[in-house]
Structure 1
Amino acid sequence: MVDFKALETLVWVATLRSFNRAAVKLHTTQPAVSQRIAQLEAEIGQKLLVREKRTVVATDAGRRVLDYAERLLKLRAEMLHAVADRTAIRGTLRLGVAETIVHTWLPRFVERMAKAYPGLALEIEVDITPNLRDRLVAQELDLVFALGALAAAHLRNLPLSTYRLAFLAGPGLAVPGDPLDLAALAAHPILTFSRNTRPYLILREMFSAPDLPPVRIHASSSMATILRMAEDGLGIAAVPEAIAGAELAAGRLRSLRTTVPLPELDFFASWRVTPEAATVEAVATIAQEVAAPRAR
């Protein structure tokens, strides 16, 4: 009789195109994975997987079985998620997070998760969106909260929160006029997100007009560093106001009025659509509930 463990093994070998990687994913050994596939092939009476050029691909029969296997596993995951006690769900969810989320609503999300899924451990990694996307596609992360909807096969996106970029400066930084135009802003270093991120590229384009003086854009992956440099008068921070609430309230930073329309940054939860994604999707929905009321 075909069991779910064998079908799950088939799905992961076909998805990862490797017996080794499937073994790591399933927390078992390669011989155990090979044995499960051999038993499944013996029960069905068809060759399901073949090796081609250092990779593993499904045969025609394998693709037909995979279609059924994915549907069965998806139904099982949905059933367990709908019926089972959430406190009984255990394991580790690998979560990748953009730093803007860390400085806004991530602590509330972690608190909510501790109540909703007390047996589910969060393994949180903070990185820029391009890296988070690559790691999600490579199946090194289960869920990411990142800037923009991520485009790749078999990914799903759920909107979370929106923050508008703002220009923030320390009280001691002398800036002429109110509101400020791009030329006035360009007279000071601009402090913002890492290179290759969308905010950095937007600002680089914004200040590239030929009638503007050369501008120095200092990029950092650390929001704390950006805010501290702005407080110390070393430049103007171009970040969402939401991450600088304490500094603005204490008067260590002030928001500058400008003539420049600034873009909004839309953050999304993204995950791979797999037969076992019911819990991940539920966690993304919790993030949406936590984030949306505080969106700016």
Structure 2
Amino acid sequence: MNTRFLETLVVLARVRSFRETAQVLNATQAAISQRIASLEDELGTELVDRSSRRLMLTPAGEQVVRQAERILQLEHELVQSTRPEAPPAGRVRIGAIESVVHTWLSPLIRVLAERHPQVNPDITVDTARNLQDQFRQRKLDVMIQNDPYAEAVGTMDYDVAPLCEFPVRWVARPDLVPASGTVTIEDLERVPVLTFSKTSSPQAHVRSLFVGRELEPRVCSFPSVESIIQLVGDGYGIAAIPPVFVRERLERRELFQCDGPRLPSMVITAISERSAGAAVRATQAVTCEVAAQYCERMGEDWARKLERTPG
């Protein structure tokens, strides 16, 4: 039995689309359809329910997927056992939120190149929601982001590594800050509040502050950290962001960090599949190391290192 056909079925079961499966496996859609048809012929049963408008597997297909995942894992372990001394090598698709780009992504790429020169990082920068969708569809090998990943709860299938924590504070140009240095809910209702994308946890935390208030706040959401920094620097509004993004401008007193309603920190984690190969495991290990070094260099006021929970 061709394990490539089994891999095709497993990916199809995840992404629920022949077109997306073709993209993930770098093949044509016709080739994907042929692989599934060949597998059905060999097993003597239909694996895909072609009567449904939405792609679904038959009960037999669901059963074959579970067995195929075990076979592919065994194949991976067999290959690794024959070359235990081989250095990590190959392309590793890394998805990261923009907050990481503005902090320690560059050191990560540099250290990875020095430590594992045969690993080729392929970087995608997007919102946490979009990264999770891509990771779910196996378009990413390592996901670095700040939102909970439901699929990793209650299972040992994923390696979830806590990396760092960015405190989130109110940041504004000095002329927008009250003389007391503290912003109140009433102050925030009078100006635009700048924060992350509409699907992000930080944006939800900001909006929750105004629940039950009579006035509708002007919460402006941006997927681009650079846009938030530009607008807060121009005096457009008050931003709810990690101050580390604008550390130098705070030190030059171009911007001011205000006291105000408390906001949860951004907790950054790296997630990969436990069954991933050596290159992915090496990349995740370097990611943990670089994030920890960044926190130590910045200090706890700007970024805090997180430790793995034992067990």
If the length of structure 2 is used for normalisation, what is the TM-score? 0.74
2:205 to 199, 202, 210: 202
Look up the SS of the partner of 2:76 in the other structure.
Answer: helix
1:177 counterpart SS class: coil
CA RMSD between the two structures: 3.5
Residue 125 of structure 1 aligns with which residue? 124
Give the drift of 1:283.
2.4
**Equivalent-residue separation in structure 1 for 2:209 and 2:5 (angstroms):** 55
Question: CA 1:176 to 1:216, structure 2 compared with 1: closer, same or farther past 3 Å?
Answer: farther
What is the SS of the residue equivalent to 1:124? strand
CA contact (8 A) 2:90 2:279 kept: no
The CA distance in 1 between the partners of 2:47 and 2:72, in whole Å, is 19
**Shift of residue 146 of structure 1?**
1.6
**Matching of residues 172-191 of structure 1 within 5 Å:** 172-191=175-194
**Which residue number corresponds to residue 146 of structure 1?**
145
Post-superposition CA distance 1:200-228 (Å, at most 9, x none):
221122134537x6543222222222222
Q: Which amino acid aligns with 1:241?
A: P
Q: Is the 8 A contact 1:176 1:184 kept in 2?
A: no
- C-alpha distance after superposition, 1:154-212 (max 9, x if no partner): 8733322211210112234342314443323444332211223221221122134537x
Partner of 1:53: 51
Structure 2 residues without counterparts, runs of 5 or longer: 296-302, 305-311
Change (3 A) 1:241 1:115: same
Q: How many pairs does the alignment contain?
A: 288
Quote the Cα distance in structure 1 between the aligned partners of 2:200 and 2:248: 25
SS of corresponding position for 1:210: coil
User: In the alignment, which residue of structure 2 is the partner of 1:292?
Assistant: 292
Percent of aligned positions that are identical: 31
User: Unpaired runs of 5+ in structure 1?
Assistant: none
1:188–1:236 CA contact under 8 A, matched in 2: yes
CA displacement at 1:286 relative to structure 2: 2.5
Match of 2:223 in 1: 221
Partner Cα distance (2:186, 2:30) in 1: 66
Indicate yes or no: 2:234 matched with 1:236.
Answer: no
Q: Does 1:192 align with 2:195?
A: yes
Taking a change above 3 Å as real, the CA distance of residues 257 and 152 of structure 1, as seen in their structure-2 partners, is: same
Whether the 8 Å contact between 1:159 and 1:268 is mirrored in structure 2 is yes
The answer to whether the 8 A contact 2:147-2:200 is kept is no
Matched, 1:77 2:76: yes
* Whole-angstrom CA distance in 2 between matches of 1:195 and 1:19: 30
Q: Deviations over 1:241-263 (max 9, x none)?
A: 122222223322221123x3221
Given the alignment of the two structures, is residue 164 of structure 1 paired with residue 167 of structure 2, yes or no? Answer: yes
Q: TM-score, normalised by structure 1?
A: 0.77
